Chains A and B, each alone.
Chain A
Amino acid sequence: MSTAHRPSDDTLAAFAGGHLDEGLALAVAAHVELNSESRRLVQEFQAVQGALLDRIEPVAMARGVPDPSGQKPANNPIAARPPAEPDMPNVLRPYAFGPWRPIGIRVAMRRIEVPGAQARVFMLRAGPGIALPHHKHTGFEWTTILSGAYEHEYGRYAAGDFDEADAGHDHTPRVDPVEGCTCLVAMTGNVLFQGWLGRLLQPLVRL
């Protein structure tokens, strides 16, 4: 796992603060689950919020202390939904998945239903050695690699890595020739494929 391929500090701060779009947050969460350094930073950023809470100017409550007697004790209410995929990150468990569907030769995607998200979220699986056509983004494309690896102009991305491509990034990903690659992608805006192959694919690939 490379150390460089992690979200920027301001992205992790926005994640820790709960200010990211739910789709983008999910891509970050999958990475945080897999990467101990980012997890530590998120914990530290949560502690920053604790420190901010201690130093904030209190604002008087309009209503008084509520009656807590009707409240039942909580016993960790995490959705016990079984994983849709064997190696799927736990953070995806609260969500419903669509079926795998092919979007090209040895490339398949599986949509994840994230209600209220602006970003579309999906798992993408590509066979060994596949080269995706050169493409450009009009929005964000945040990717966490779940297994295998790919490589493009900005480096090699392996399991647990985070690829934070903002608007304007263009790249030509090539999938690892042995392992292939499965990743979780959150995307806003559109993907613009380039070149004759890309223009041919464009109508087929509604990511």
Chain B
Amino acid sequence: MVAAFALTVEDMREALAAAPGGRFFALFDANALIAAIARSGDRDAFAELFDHFAPRVKGLLMRGGTSAELAEEIAQETLLTVWRKAALFDPAKANASTWIATIARNRRIDIARREARSRLSQVYEILDEDGPEQPDETISGAERDARIRAAMTGLSADQYRVVELAFLEEFSHQDVAKRLAIPLGTVKSRLRLALSHLRGKLEDLR
């Protein structure tokens, strides 16, 4: 479809440079930027990656109830970790956003549970890195990520919000006592419903 317009990338870049709002999302190639950091410690690539992802990591954390100040610190640390780990990124295993989201989760745990000397982020790293590959794991991580995105477009706005709640918010599970105080009412049943809806979609796509 795009090809029918016979636009070159240069045409698009020119058009977009003239347009307000700056960069066009489709021209942002996170994999290439991470590869450039891994290859040659490319500072410009890091700056571009930072400008794209740091405000999103911050936004995601704030949506989960983290304060702006702490979210800022975690977002900074997340992108610095991306710099350090760039050579370990494997685009076949997961797409860049998924990889960065898991780094953000681990950094959040490290920083929020710093005083408790938490080792939980090491537990996640062990699971991510040496989980034995199963013979039935035939699809690549990149393919899986594409399927997840497809599944999520099928969620209603309401369901999307509930899925966000399940994954982002320091809700009931964070404090077990607090969880027990929550009635097994609307929130939990809607959560189960949204997750099973998502799960059903994922199974259709498998």
Residues of A within 8 A of B (CB): 8-11, 13-14, 16-22, 24-26, 29, 32-33, 36, 39-54, 56-63, 65-66, 68-69, 71-74, 76-79, 90-91, 93-95, 114-116, 118-119, 139-140, 167, 188
When the two chains form their complex, are residues A50 and B167 in contact, meaning their CB atoms are under 8 A apart? no
**Which A residue's beta carbon lies closest to that of B50?**
A65
A78 touches B141 (CB 8 A): no
Instruction: Verify B56–A56 contact, CB threshold 8 A.
Output: yes
Residue of B nearest to A47 (CB): B148
The answer to whether the Cβ of B91 comes within 8 Å of any Cβ in the partner chain is no
Q: What's the Cα separation between A44 and B87 when bound, in Å?
A: 23
- The answer for the CA separation of A63 and B71 in the assembled complex, in Å, is 12
Contact call A53/B100, Cβ cutoff below 8 A: yes
Binding stretch for chain A, among B6-14, B15-23, B76-84? B76-84
Q: Would A48 and B167 be within 8 Å (CB), given that A59-B59, A68-B80 are in contact? A: yes
Contact of A48 among B50, B141, B148 (CB under 8 A): B148
Do A71 and B98 have beta carbons less than 8 Å apart?
Answer: no
Bound-complex Cα distance A18 to B109 (A): 7
A–B pairs, 30, beta carbons within 8 Å: A9-B196, A13-B195, A17-B167, A29-B123, A32-B131, A36-B137, A44-B144, A47-B98, A48-B163, A48-B167, A52-B60, A52-B101, A52-B167, A53-B57, A53-B60, A54-B149, A59-B58, A59-B68, A61-B54, A61-B76, A62-B68, A65-B47, A65-B51, A68-B80, A73-B84, A90-B130, A93-B126, A114-B119, A115-B117, A116-B118
**How many residues does chain B have at the interface if contact means C-beta atoms less than 8 Å apart?**
89
Q: Count A/B pairs, Cβ under 8 Å.
A: 224
A139 cross-chain contacts in B, Cβ below 8 A: 176
A16 in contact with B46 (CB, 8 Å): no
Given contacts A14-B173, A65-B47, A65-B50, contact A46 B94 (CB under 8 A): yes
Taking a contact as CB atoms closer than 8 A, the residue among B43, B56, B117 that contacts A116 in the complex is B117
Output the least CB separation between B97 and chain A (Å): 4
Could you say which residues of chain B place their CB within 8 Å of the CB of A119?
A: 176
Complex CA gap A21/B52 in Å reads 31
Among A19, A58, A60, A62, contact of B171 (Cβ-Cβ < 8 Å): A19
Are B127 and A50 closer than 8 Å at their CB atoms? no
Given the interface contacts A16-B167, A58-B58, does A50 sit within 8 Å of B192 by beta carbon? no
Ranked nearest first, the 4 interchain pairs of A and B with the lowest CB-CB distance are A116-B116, A50-B98, A58-B55, A50-B97
CB distance from A3 to the nearest CB of B (A): 13
Tell me if B167 and A9 are in contact (CB < 8 A): no
Determine if B122 and A22 form an interchain contact, defined as CB atoms under 8 angstroms apart.
Answer: no
- What distance in Å separates the Cβ of B164 from its nearest Cβ neighbour in chain A? 6
Whether a CB of chain A sits under 8 angstroms from the CB of B36 is: no
Q: B120-148 interface mask toward A, CB cutoff 8 Å, 1 = contact, 0 = none? A: 10111111011100101100010011001
